[in-house]
Amino acid sequence: MCGIIGYTGKGNAAKIMLDALELLEYRGYDSAGIALLGGNGMRILKSAGRVGDLRKRCKGQDTGGHCGIGHTRWATHGGVCDQNAHPHRFGRVTLIHNGIIENYKELTEKYHLAGKLRSQTDTEVAAAVVDHFYTGDPYSAIRRTVLKLKGTFAFAVLFDDQPDKIFAVRNVSPIVAAITPDGAILSSDVAAIVPFTPDYFVLPEFHVAALSPAGIELFDLSGDREEIVWQKADWDVGQSGKGGYPFYMEKEIMEQPKAVQETILPRIRDGRPDFSEEGIPDRVLAECKRICVIACGTAMHAGLVGKSLIQAMIGIHVDVVMASEFMYNDPVVDGETLVIAISQSGETIDTLEALKFARACGSPSISIVNVRGASIARVSEYVIYTNAGPEIAVASTKAYTTQLAVLYLLTARMAAARGLWSEKTLEGFMQELKRVPDVLKQVLQTKEEIHRLAGAILHARDVFMIGRGLDYSILLEGSLKLKEVSYIHSEAYASGELKHGTIALITEDTPVIAVVTQEKLKSKELSNIREVQSRGARVLLLIKEGEALEEGEGLSCVYRLPRMEDPFMVMPASVVLQLIAYYVSSDKGLDVDKPRNLAKVVTVE
Ligand code: M6R
């Protein structure tokens, strides 16, 4: 969490950083700030609120200069206020930080900082420690500081007497850097770099990068120079804008047919699923005795769909574990457990740490990641990239459906590797998978109808969502989507579970969204719908086209989903749920892309 930017070169540093902070704002938007180092010394401008507020704060101020660092914050230590906004300055040192310094209290005591700090942040303590060690040698000060820190960090540091230079160091939290046509830039992620160049590198952990207008040098902590390993970003700048949509979320929902297509097609060869580009040997898929999926939030919900698919079609046991709980439940993973880590950003710290633990236990691992070169991709034995392109809205949409697409492919490849399916079954499955982009297009063409349906819950206080099996899995995601972007309380329940308590909350006019897409569960699901209706619930039903509903079923709202084979129905149904959440949020006039208290990349535990 938190977005970091640093620029030094011939350009206008303030302008470059403010523009970049807007691109990074999805990483946190509690406050923003910049520090400029130049002829007029150090100037820091910062304010609580969005980058837009910082721009206002900069108006009429001296923002000239060619070297600076900037930050957009997701608050961890210390409330949301101007004082706690980054950059933080102590003595001759000004820095920005993403991460958490766990031993900041001990450091405050050890270096007698009480009474000298102006903020409540752990970051200012780190600035003070760097200043304590600074005797004119930035590398030594950084090295000695880093050895004292416990926790995660990505720092960009300016020293008053090192004009035009930015120093960066990190542990876990990401930093990427690049040479621009007129200088050098660093950032938390490539989103802010691609407008300048596709070539970048990931700063290795516990290494120091020194940026100057002449370029970038890389050193290990003992001061030895190291070669930079360059990578190429494959996101073009055009993909990063809103493309005429009012919000990124809508744009990203609309991009799903293409994103899914681009995720599936390169992995189909001669009609069969193929992971040879990723170098995944069939033995990894054929020999594992069980699977453990680790992920958070939306990615974890994708894992739940994967569990249903794999258990039903391959017949091996799959656990889906919230990565944030993984380490605290004495995980049992071993060489026979295939660990699948799912993450859009590839930086979610809980998923990353869980994956590292599983690898240390000898588990083979595959990660499903969207952002190229992200930490989770690097730690994993094998990586399958979802080709969703940049996902900027905090609420995940196209990342989710592309994660599902990869899970379908993996299921099919696993079945083939284990010799479980006939050629005909495999062919039928792959044909149906290839239909998904067109089916999603069909759903998206009905978005105005979905908009009208969303009106039914616009003023609701609580919304319940019910379904069974795969339908329940996608409702968990639909409910998360609604909660996070519309602030309406919502719960997804396995319909059969309602009677064990929750049905007590259903009263006259309670809105209930029900999804019925699985033939084998249909009659039970419809009975559960009748149960809530007879308690007064207002039901919005998502059901396959052509499914008969009995006279008197009394459903006020029905949305007909385009027909697919049952295992694939989660795709069109998920898109309808995403659109419902989106329209409720935008019709309420909320900031759809940046819901309160959230950030897109969760790099703190
Ligand atoms: O980047 P990741 O996929 O690892 O992020 C995990 C969750 O934070 C994320 O899926 C989150 O739940 C969604 N952005 C919510 O829409």
- Closest by alpha carbon to 94, among 118, 74, 61, 63? 118
Q: What is the mean pLDDT of residues 9-31?
A: 93
How far, in Å, are 5, 29, 195, 601 from residue 22 at the CA level? 11, 10, 13, 15
Residue 321 CA to ligand 1 centre (angstroms): 14
Out of 38-42, 99-103, 435-439, which region has the weakest mean confidence (pLDDT)? 38-42
Residue type at 519? E
For residue 10, give the nearest of 65, 58, 62, 61 by alpha carbon.
65
Pocket test for ligand 1, best of 1, 298, 598 (most atoms within 8 A of CB): 298
Residue-wise pLDDT for 156-193, tens only, equals: 999 999 999 999 999 988 899 999 999 999 999 888 99
Going from the C-alpha of 173 to that of each of 5, 414, 417, the distances in angstroms are 13, 34, 37
Q: Is the separation of the CB atoms in 185 and 213 below 8 Å? A: no
Whether pLDDT at 403 is above 70: yes
Torsion (CA) 97, 98, 100, 106 in degrees, nearest 10:
-10
Residue with the two structure tokens 């706690």: 84
Out of 74, 304, 343, mutate this one to test ligand 1's pocket (max ligand atoms within 8 Å of CB): namely 343
Compute the distance between CA of residue 574 and CA of residue 561 in angstroms, rounded to an integer: 10
Mean pLDDT across the chain, nearest whole number?
94
CA distances from 119 to 37, 126, 216 (A): 21, 12, 32
E strand map for 468-593: 489-494, 511-516, 538-544, 557-561
pLDDT at residue 554 greater than cutoff 60: no
How many helices and strands (H and E) does the chain possess? 18, 27
- Contact in structure between 466 and 512 (CB atoms under 8 Å): yes
Residue 295: beta bridge partners? Answer: 322
Q: What is the pLDDT of residues 365-377, one digit of tens each?
A: 999 999 988 889 9
Alpha carbons 342 and 511: distance in angstroms, whole number:
32
Of all residues in the chain, the percent with pLDDT exceeding 70 is 98
Q: Is the pLDDT of residue 22 over 80?
A: yes
Tokens linked to 547: 């499914």
pLDDT at site 291: 98
Section 433-444 average pLDDT:
98
Q: Which amino acid is at 396?
A: S
Structure confidence at residue 239 (pLDDT): 62
| Sheet order of strands, 462-467 included | 489-494, 462-467, 511-516, 538-544, 557-561
Residues 247, 393 contacting (CB under 8 angstroms):
yes
Q: Which helix (H) or strand (E) holds 145?
A: helix 138-146
Which residue has the CA at smallest separation from atom 7 of ligand 1?
A: 297
DSSP string, 275-304: -TTTT--HHHHHH-SEEEEEE-HHHHHHHH
Tens of pLDDT, residue by residue over 197-241, are 999 999 999 999 999 999 999 999 989 999 999 998 876 655 667
- Ligand 1 centre to CA of 359 (Å) is 22
The answer to whether residue 439 scores a pLDDT higher than 80 is yes
Residue of 253, 344, 574, 594 to test ligand 1 pocket, by largest number of atoms within 8 Å of CB? 344
* Helices 398-417/297-314 angle, 10° precision: 20
pLDDT surpasses 90 at 502: no
Cα distance between the two ends of the chain:
10
Predicted confidence at residue 224, as pLDDT, reads 94
Rounded to the nearest angstrom, the distance between the alpha carbon of 300 and the centre of ligand 1 is 8
* Low-confidence winner among 24-28, 145-149, 392-396 (lowest mean pLDDT): 24-28
Closest ligand 1 atom to 400 CA = 10
Work out the pLDDT band at 329, boundaries 50, 70, 90: confident
Question: What is the distance in A from the centroid of ligand 1 to the CA of 307?
Answer: 18
Token pair recorded at residue 367: 């990660």
Residues 148-164 have pLDDT tens digits of: 999 999 999 999 999 99
256-262-263 Cα angle (round to 5): 90
Query: In this predicted structure, what is the pLDDT of residue 76?
Result: 83
The residue whose CA has the least distance to atom 12 of ligand 1 is 297
Q: Which of 355, 397, 602, 603 is the pocket-test mutation for ligand 1 (most atoms within 8 Å of CB)? A: 602
325-329, 495-499, 542-546 — most confident range:
542-546
CA 394 to centroid of ligand 1, rounded, Å: 8
> Can you read off the two tokens belonging to residue 309?
């698919």
Single-letter code of the amino acid located at 212:
S
Residue 523: Cβ within 10 Å count: 10
Q: Which atom of ligand 1 is nearest to the CA of 295?
A: 4
| pLDDT value of residue 11 | 95
- Any idea which residues carry the catalytic annotation? 2, 600
Structure tokens at 111: 């270096």
pLDDT value at residue 499: 86
**Nearest residue (CA) to ligand 1, atom 10:** 298
Distance (Å) from CA 348 to ligand 1 centroid: 8
- Nearest CA among 162, 159, 161, 191 for reference residue 89: 159
Confidence of residue 417 (pLDDT cuts 50, 70, 90): very high
Closest residue CA from atom 11 of ligand 1: 297
DSSP letters along 461-479, please?
Answer: SEEEEEE-THHHHHHHHHH
Give the whole-angstrom CA distance, residue 479 versus residue 464: 8
The answer to whether the beta carbons of residues 574 and 259 sit under 8 Å apart is no
pLDDT confidence bin for 561, thresholds 50/70/90: very high
Encoded tokens for 525: 């699901």
Rounded to an integer, what is the distance from CA 183 to the centroid of its chain?
A: 30
Proportion of the chain above pLDDT 90, given as a percent: 82
pLDDT(552) > 60 = no
- Local confidence band at 93 (pLDDT 50, 70, 90 cut-offs): very high
Pocket of ligand 1 (CB under 6 A): 296-299, 343-345, 348, 351, 394-396, 484, 602
Tens-digit pLDDT profile for residues 380-393: 999 999 999 989 99
Asked whether the domain spanning 447-587 has the same topology as the one spanning 250-436, the reply is: yes
Level-2 CATH architecture, domain 3-233: 4-Layer Sandwich (3.60)
Q: Which CATH number fits domain 447-587: 3.40.630.30, 3.40.50.300, 3.40.50.10490, 3.30.420.40?
A: 3.40.50.10490
pLDDT band for position 521 (50/70/90)?
A: very high
HEC profile for 49-103? CCHHHHHHHHCCCCCCCCEEEEEEECCCCCCCCCCCCCCEEECCEEEEEEEEECC
Domain ranges of the chain: 3-233, 250-436, 447-587
Q: Please give the distance, rounded to the nearest whole angstrom, from the Cα atom of residue 345 to the centre of ligand 1.
A: 8
| pLDDT mean over 108-128 | 95
| Predicted local confidence at residue 176, as pLDDT | 95
CATH code linked to domain 250-436: 3.40.50.10490
Q: What is the dihedral of CA 437, 443, 448, 450, to 10 degrees?
A: -130
What percent helix, strand, coil does the chain show, rounded to 5? 40, 25, 35
Q: Given a cut of 60, is residue 493 above it in pLDDT?
A: yes
